[in-house]
Structures are given as structure tokens and as C-alpha cells.
Structure 1
């Protein structure tokens, strides 16, 4: 029940799905699926966070969205496709529930009765929230400063974790945001001097969350509000 989507499902659906859920370890850096590869499972993260990247022909990439305990990996399966152009890698190590594609699709495609509509509507609402995150990330990367982007990224990551500590190198964050490492070093240094974060190699501790929220752009609030609306509407299903 640590995954918010699974927790939002009614009891009749969970009784059918939960026996098929497999709790798996998601090590840092693991590739969950390759760009263009066939998807065989859905993943419902609990304590792990997965980063979705778009991979360019020259090997460069940037994060287009993150998925943690608020969501699911594999939306292209119930949207009509068996593959996706994005690359999914584990950004924060932890656990996730894995579910075979066939099991969820059988439930998703059930006809008649309210039990069909609940899962169908919940997954489509999540997809809309995910699309909002992807769109807002694109706008943020184009129009906002590296410091604002870093604040947004830190806050969205914190929302998916139980603590204020992040295991993450500046090089990895730079790869997520698609910027030079020097830009992240400068932005992180400024946040540290202002007392908002504490940074030592491979480890970031957020000291002043309110300060981060004051320094970020509107993109964080837009994404957070959309996921909050998703969960609020899910309770009505």
C-alpha cells in the first residue's frame, strides 16, 4: 500500500491483483526498459524512484519525467503500444512491485460493471498527470535557470522519499537535467551557501524545504497540484 495508485484501488480489484504482485529490489542505475524495447511488466515503485529519459542518436539524454510511489511504469501498454521511445533507469534505489502485463491488461479490459471503470479511469488520470510532468519539464528546461531547475528536481524527488536525504552525485543530476556539471556545481554551491542544502560527495541533505520552494519556479507547483488532483479524484472512483 506504499504505492499511491495501488492504495487507491477498491478492494474487489486488489483482491484479484495483489496475489500477482512481486516485490523486487531496484538497484541504483538498473535499466528497467530500453528505448524501443518490448515491455513485459508494469512497475509500481514503493521506495524506489525511476527516471524516464529520452535518448538522442548521439547518446546524449535528459530526464523527461520521474516515477516514484505516486505512479506506475508501463503506461504505453494500456495506451495501445508495447514499447516506448524513452529509457527507464533507477534514479533512487529501493523497492517496487512488478506485475505481469497480461494480469493488469485483463483487469483493465474487463467489460461491464463499476469495477472496470475504476482501474481504467485511474490509469488514464495518472497518464494525464504524467503528461503534465513531461510537458512542464520541457518548458522548465527551456525557460528557467539551472538553479530553479535544480530546486524543482530536488523537491519532486523529496516528495517521493520518506526523508530529506538524497544519495545523488552532481554528475548524475547534471545528466538528469541535460546540463553541464559545472552548472549544477555552481547552483548547488549557491543553495548550500544560503543554507538550503548540505552537500558532500554523493549525498545531499535538504535543510530548508521552504527555502527551496521559494527559489524554484512555478513548474514544481503545477506538477504537484496535478498529482494531488489525481489522488483526490481517485478517492471518488
Structure 2
């Protein structure tokens, strides 16, 4: 990771959760925030790890993976500029519950976990914002679990690609077969078949991990209704607290 001196307020405020804080509360956080860069594929935490740092993404995207038996995984959420990694510290949890992997490289504001826990305890405005955000994470995880149990892989892949598109605000991004297999909890051959089916329908173009969504409306039609539910949960408004 690369570190920089405390950047100006505007740069930290590219994270929407931080931007939702009253200006005076954000100003008190600034001296405790460092700007860091994270690389694609970087593992920020594993289940059971102490939560040493809190990350507020600016332009990176972090995948949250549930892990079974140390090797089987399923994506249960994503964290982009709308949120933070380590929100459960606000609920008193001191260890990570998921594997957090950087899906797209970029920058984030980072804060010491213990300092953040103390800040939450003293700051009602921050508490209110975080409680709403953790509720949205739970809603996403529940719906993804339902989707993974009851819906076919092609629809699940469409849902995952659309959610990623929304987070990145781009029709073009890079996701390897291996990453998608880990995220969807399936074998790589299953991802290949599902991606090929979507490509044959003219909905996406997928080559060497480079994905371009050609028909967002058609892809939404190919997805299950879970996409709308997950999108609404992930886009839960985090408004400033008076």
C-alpha cells in the first residue's frame, strides 16, 4: 500500500458515507484518516482476523466473501464508494467475519480500527449513518443467499455483473473466470458456460476477463428479481444527519 499525507476534505468526501457526516464531524475525523491505494486481488482481511483498519473506498471496489472450510467461497456483498469495510466494529465486533478482496484497484481513506471504535462511541451522527449502512449490508447478504440457493447460474451471473456495473458506474470492467467462480460459489466451467450464454444473446462481450455490458436492459431481463432488491439495498440513501 502507498500512503499519503492527509488529503483535503473534498478527496475524503468522494466516499459517500464520509460525505454524509456533518462537516464538523468529518473535520474531526480528518486527522485520523490516511489515504491508501489498494491493488486488485489484494486480501484486506480473512475471517477471524482482528479488524485493525477501517477502509472507506473512493474509487476501488471490495468484494466480501463468505468462506467455508477455508476454501469454498460465496460473495455476500460488495463495498464501493457508498460504504466502508469494517462496519461491524460499530456493533462491537473486533474480528472480521468475511474475506475482503479488492475487486478493482483504487484509493481509500483508512483509519485505525481502535480509534474508529472510540469515535463511534462518542459520535451519535456517525452511529446513525453506520447503523443504516450495516442494515443495508445485511439486506444484501440475505438476498444474495436466497439467490444462490434458488436461482440458476446464468441469472445469478447477470445479477452479479449488473451490481458490479452499478458500483463502478461503467459498462466495462475486468473480472476473471476464477474471481467470478469464487464470488458465485461455483466451478470455473460453470462461469464459462453462463458467460457464453449471455454473450450469445448479445448481452455482454467477455474476453480474457474483460467484460463489456452491451445491453443493460436485456441483461436485467436475464437476471432474477434479486438484482433489483440487491441494488436498492446497496443504494440505500445515506443522508447527512442533522
What TM-score results when the alignment is normalised by the length of structure 2? 0.89
**Secondary structure, in 3 states, of the residue corresponding to 1:85?**
coil
Q: Distance in 2 between matches of 1:207 and 1:94?
A: 25
The answer to whether residue 143 in structure 2 is matched with residue 136 in structure 1 is yes
Q: Is the 8 A contact 2:55 2:86 kept in 1?
A: yes
Deviation at 1:13, TM superposition (A): 0.8
1:3 and 2:7 equivalent? no
SS of the equivalent of 1:24 reads strand
- Secondary structure of the structure 2 residue equivalent to 1:159: helix
Equivalent residue for 1:125? 132
Q: TM-score, normalised to structure 1's length?
A: 0.91
Correspondence list, 1:42-191, <5 A? 42-57=54-69, 59-110=71-122, 116-191=123-198
Does the alignment pair 1:13 with 2:20?
no
CA–CA distance in 2 between the matches of 1:236 and 1:228? 17
Give the aligned CA root-mean-square deviation in angstroms: 1.5
> Which runs of 5 or more structure 2 residues have no equivalent in the other structure?
1-12
Query: What is the aligned partner in structure 2 of residue 211 from structure 1?
Result: 218
Q: Deviations over 1:122-158 (max 9, x none)?
A: 1000000000011011000001111111111111111
**Residue by residue, what CA displacement relative to the aligned partner does 1:45-68 show, whole Å, maximum 9, x if unpaired?**
111111111222252222121111
In structure 2, what is the Cα distance between the partners aligned to 1:58 and 1:130? 23
Aligned pair count reads 230
Change beyond 3 A, Cα 1:210–1:175? same
1:113 is aligned to none
Cα 1:228–1:160 shift into 2, 3 Å: closer
What stretches of structure 1 of length at least 5 have no aligned partner?
111-115
- Structure 2: distance between partners of 1:25 and 1:58: 27
Q: CA deviation at 1:199?
A: 1.1
